[in-house]
Structure 1
Amino acid sequence: MTDVDTPSLRPEILAFYARGQEHARLRSGGHRLEFLRTQDVLRRLLPPAPAAVLDVGGGSGVHAEWLAADGHAVTLVDPVPLHVEQAAAVPGVTVLQGDARALARPDASVDVVLLLGPLYLPERADRIRALAEARRVVRPGGLVVAATINRFAGLHDQLRKEVWFDPALRPRIAAGTADGRHRPREDGDFTTAYFHEPADVPREFAEAGLEPCGQYGLEGAAWLMGGVEAWLDDPERRAAVLEALRLTESSPALLGVSGHLLTVGRRPPG
């Protein structure tokens, strides 16, 4: 196990997630597309059940729930006390409070590590540390799958919501597009975070000792289309949307159009 002290989240990040909004975000509205596509990609990537899956930064258990129902042995780790409390109610999931940068797990003890949030951390050193911890605890040849927010997601989202048309807010959005550092609005739209260029993520994987082996844009261009929420309400159209997004999910030219990206790596064998 790691022998360093468990780090703490920045106060504004902890305060944002302590509001409890994540519990409902992926379960309703247009954000379901992020959930459905994450589920779709992971079900194709993960080894057959039962695999030992460590869901780091797993929030209230929105993904741990279906992973456990699929037959995987899931342990969820999250630094937010509210998330730990919520996830503890998910059947078949072991829940621990902890931080991605200092996992209280033995070396080479799981088949898969999911980081569906820790790479939002604003400092590169923290992201590399989280990836290195994932490499440490996953077995040789095992998978590490990490989510990142794409560099232009904020710009696209604020344009879609017409926030961009407010001249007072435009400089903040433009600055984040330039350097990847999300600067929250006073109304708490999100929290301090880093938005990646797709090509930067494999470099972070490699620096942590992982072999990058694939990237998947989750929402494609569909999240920017006005009808997406109604499409997801219709089972036939929902299936057609998912089929369309699979056609472009790993196209290098389109990776950055998605709001979120999954990057996959392996711990080298031996």
Structure 2
Amino acid sequence: MTETTRAQDPAVGVREEILAYYAQGKEDGRLRQGSERLEFWRTQDVLRRLLPTAPAKLLDVGGGSGIHAEWLARDGHEVQLIDPVPLHVEQAGRLPGVDARAGDARELPAEDASYDVVLLLGPLYHLPERADRVRALSEARRVVRPGGLVVAATINRFAGLHDLLKHELYFTAPHRARVDRETEEGRHDYQDGGLFTTAYFAQPHEAPEEFTDAALTVEGQYGLEGAAWLMGGIEDWLDDPDRREAVLAATRRIESESTLLGTSGHLLTAGRRRT
């Protein structure tokens, strides 16, 4: 394949409601507080074990405001972030060691085989159509070098159901009807009373199948939060350094247990481009 740089208007093809949701600027603080910190710390934990020794050349696709790019750059990696939301590009571009630019996961503005690692920690669950998810993974394969690593995040199919039960919203008929449809179809529709923007909630087996269709070899899956995110004391546990380490150790212990993968709110799938 000849080297190619693909350029386009990143807003083309990105749903307006998704752009509007992230333009509110709430994403930058989401993983820095409350129980959401578990997702952040566990993502960091898994990636630090999977990534090559720094400095590696990383492409953070759909990296938002740079919540992960920031610590990756601090770890010594060369980080480029791509995101379709102008506010995110502006925020990430202010971070030391992070080069941020506009782009779409399905048509990356990057040359063939130009990165050691490609991360997709957000794009797949905002692509409701399977063909678009495979296209994004195929683009990741195109721009990662042979032998390079691709890691993608998905939201698990029953995350919405678990979350509504935790916050006692499942007892409200409209919320219950919506989330019951989500568990059947996987589609979260913001126009249907959803608390999130347009998204796709996947079964654990779907990401490996989509990796395979994109000619990526799957090497592992990692449930990030286990069941800990659903427990009433989780925020206090995360505030206590000793208990936090115990929670992280417990979730690490079961992270790849196949019977528990769907319990986590988020799942990481890792694979490689072989040739």
TM range (shorter): over 0.9
1:77 maps to amino acid: I
% identical aligned pairs: 67
Deviations 1:9-64 (A, max 9, x none): 11111111111110000011110000000000000000000000000000000000
1:182 aligns with 2:173: no
Question: Of 56, 64, 72, which residue of structure 1 is paired with 2:77?
Answer: 72
Q: Deviations over 1:84-112 (max 9, x none)?
A: 11111110111111111111111000000
Equivalent position of 1:229 in the other structure = 235
SS at match of 2:146: strand
**Residue number among 84, 87, 99 corresponding to 1:82 in the alignment:** 87
Which residue does the alignment assign to 1:49?
A: 54
- Report the Cα distance in structure 1 between the residues aligned to 2:205 and 2:185, rounded to whole angstroms: 14
Q: Distance in 1 between matches of 2:177 and 2:193?
A: 16
How far did 1:188 drift?
5.9
Question: Given the superposition, is the C-alpha separation of residues 31 and 114 from structure 1 closer, same or farther in structure 2, using an over 3 Å criterion?
Answer: same
Question: 8 Å contact 1:214–1:264 — kept in the other structure?
Answer: yes
In structure 2, distance between residues paired with 1:255 and 1:104? 33
Q: Secondary structure at the match of 2:164?
A: helix
In structure 2, the residue matched to 1:266 is 272
**Matched ranges for 1:71-150 at <5 A:** 71-120=76-125, 121-150=127-156
CA contact (8 A) 1:2 1:102 kept: no
Residue 155 of structure 1 is matched in structure 2 by: 161
2:15 maps to which residue? 10
SS at match of 1:111: strand
Is contact 2:217–2:274 with CA below 8 Å preserved after alignment?
A: yes
Structure 1 letter corresponding to 2:104: D
- Give the structure-2-normalised TM-score: 0.95
CA contact 2:178–2:192 (8 Å) conserved in 1: no
C-alpha deviation, 1:3, in angstroms? 5.0
1:196 paired with 2:202, answer yes
1:3–1:80 distance in 2 versus 1, CA, 3 Å: closer
Per-residue CA deviations over 1:180-203 (Å, capped at 9, x if unaligned) read 001226666210100000011100
- Separation in structure 2 between the aligned mates of residue 105 and residue 185 of structure 1, nearest angstrom: 34
Q: Report the Cα offset of residue 167 of structure 1.
A: 1.5
